[in-house]
Each structure stands twice: as C-alpha cells, then as structure tokens.
Amino acid sequence: MSEQQTPGNNGNRQDEVTHFGFRNVPKSQKAGQVADVFHSVAGKYDLMNDLMSMGIHRLWKRFTIETSGVRTGNQVLDIAGGTGDLTMKFSDLVGPTGKVVLADINASMLEVGRSRLTDRGYAGNIEYVQADAEHLPFPDNQFNAVSIAFGLRNVTDKDQALRDMARVLKPGGKLMVLEFSKPTNSLLSKVYDEYSFRALPLMGKLIANDSESYKYLAESIRMHPDQETLKGMMEQAGLVNCRYYNMTGGIVALHVGTKP
C-alpha cells in the first residue's frame, strides 16, 4: 500500500487511529503532523519556551540533570533533544572522554540545535543524529543514560519508544522522561487550563505567528498519560525502580527508571 492510499482498508497499522491533540487521526499520519508543528516552531522554539514557562523550564531541566547521575566518561542519548538544552548540560558532565548523542526526528529542530550548540562552543563530544524514538538506530546496551524531555507526548507509539529506549540502555542505566503531567490540585488545574487554552495559542500567534501549533501543545498535554499510568508503562517496558517527581504542582513530572 502506498503512502497516498486512504487508511482503513488493509488491516495494518494505518487502519488504527491515535490522537493528535484532541483530534483522532490515522496512526500513519501523526508523525507527519507532529513534524509540521516542529518545522513551524523551530526558529522561535527557545524564545517561546522561556515565555510560556516564564523561565521555569530551566529549573525542570536542571533537576533532570541533577537526578541523572551522569558522570565523566559516560555515553548519553538525548532523544527528542530538539534545540539541545539537556545535551549542553550532559556534554559538560561527560567531558572529553564521554559522548552525548543529540537525536531528534525533525531536521529543522536538529539544525537549530546544532547551530546553537556550535555557536556556544560545544564540539567534540556531541553527535547529531536524525532518529525516531520508536526505532533508535543504536545497538543494545550502549548508553549509561537516556533522556527524553517534552518529547514522549509527541510520539505515536509510546510503548514501543519506551521499549526501544530501554533496549539501548546499558544494564544499570537510567531512563529519564521529563514531560507535562497532571496537576495534583484542582484549583491549580483550573488556572492552568485557562492559561493553556487561552494564553498559549494567543502567545503563539503573536510571537511565532502560529496559534495552531500552540493549541496542539495544550491539547497534547491533556492527552498524555498521567503520572501513575506512565510509571506503569515504564515498568511494562522492562524498567525497574520506576518513580516520579512532581514539579510545579504536577504540571510537569520527571519519571526515572533503571534497566535491570
């Protein structure tokens, strides 16, 4: 069956639907629609991140790095690494004897990441790879740590991605999933809903001339598995000692699991 044929008539993956924000789309189309979002926002991505989170994303990322236990000489994969915030920090930690792979499915995001890191003098221990989290082009047992920050939400088959991230970890290695999650307090939840569904698309329109992508952001966050569900999915993927840390009242959570 060619890419152009309509889904629904051959009983394979293309028949199945998944969500793209609040809409149902054929599974075969989700990655393309996510790609359109990130091609569109790549140039303004870092500015929008700072504005939308009022800079707080830097604290969420700092906590992720501190929890990672990454050390000199380690091999780290930052998948869905985008413009490279975590990669930069990992690069400092692993030093010249280690290696960090900044991988992303999207060529535009990867290009913004590569020029940003090069401009800041990062070279030598960073590799750039275009890759899908569901099908990682790396051998088994390669990395001491794998991170995916604000990326898992966009992946079509999250269970497959978690299994593949576990596969490329060395035994004893840690998977860190930093992602939007479910606020633990109902009042915070209401305020957050107002902010996400009204303010975010408006900011997207004014700053990136793209309200639809930021509407997708708000919707995709609501569709993402909550803390306990994601923890269960990590266990199903074969990881042990799975746990999570809520941040900013559960708006964001860091999930950590270890490969046995």
Q: Which residues bind ligand SAM (CB under 6 A)?
A: 34, 38, 79-83, 85, 104-106, 109, 132-134, 149-151, 154-155
* Cα–Cα dist 89/161, whole Å: 23
Residue 72 marked as a ligand binder: no
Q: Which is nearer to ligand SAM, 35 or 188 (CB)?
A: 35
Least distance (Å) between residue 9 CB and ligand SAM? 26
Residue 166 marked as a ligand binder: no
Q: Which is nearer to ligand SAM, 118 or 185 (CB)?
A: 118
Burial class of residue 54, CB neighbours in 10 A (0-12, 13-18, 19+): exposed
Least distance (Å) between residue 107 CB and ligand SAM? 9
Least distance (Å) between residue 117 CB and ligand SAM? 12
Q: Which is nearer to ligand SAM, 104 or 255 (CB)?
A: 104
Least distance (Å) between residue 109 CB and ligand SAM? 4
Give the list of residues 6+ apart from residue 158 with CB closer than 8 angstroms, or none: 152, 225, 233
Least distance (Å) between residue 15 CB and ligand SAM? 20
243 and 233 Cβ atoms separated by less than 8 Å: no
Q: Which is nearer to ligand SAM, 8 or 137 (CB)?
A: 137
Q: Which is nearer to ligand SAM, 82 or 201 (CB)?
A: 82
Residue 83 marked as a ligand binder: yes
**Residue number with the smallest Cβ distance to ligand SAM:** 82
Residue 92 marked as a ligand binder: no
Least distance (Å) between residue 157 CB and ligand SAM? 9
Q: Which is nearer to ligand SAM, 61 or 72 (CB)?
A: 61
Mind spelling out the 3-state secondary structure of the chain?
CCCCCCCCCCCCHHHCEEEECCEEEEHHHHHHHHHHHHHHHHHHHHHHHHHHHCCCHHHHHHHHHHHHCCCCCCEEEEECCCCCHHHHHHHHHHCCCCEEEEEECCHHHHHHHHHHHHHCCCCCCEEEEECECCECCCCCCCEEEEEEECCHHHCCCHHHHHHHHHHHEEEEEEEEEEEECCCCCHHHHHHHHHHHHHHHHHHHHHHHCCHHHHHHHHHHHHHCCCHHHHHHHHHHCCCEEEEEEEEHHHCEEEEEEECC
Binding site for S-adenosyl-L-methionine: which residues?
83, 104, 132-133
Binding site: which residues?
83, 104, 132-133
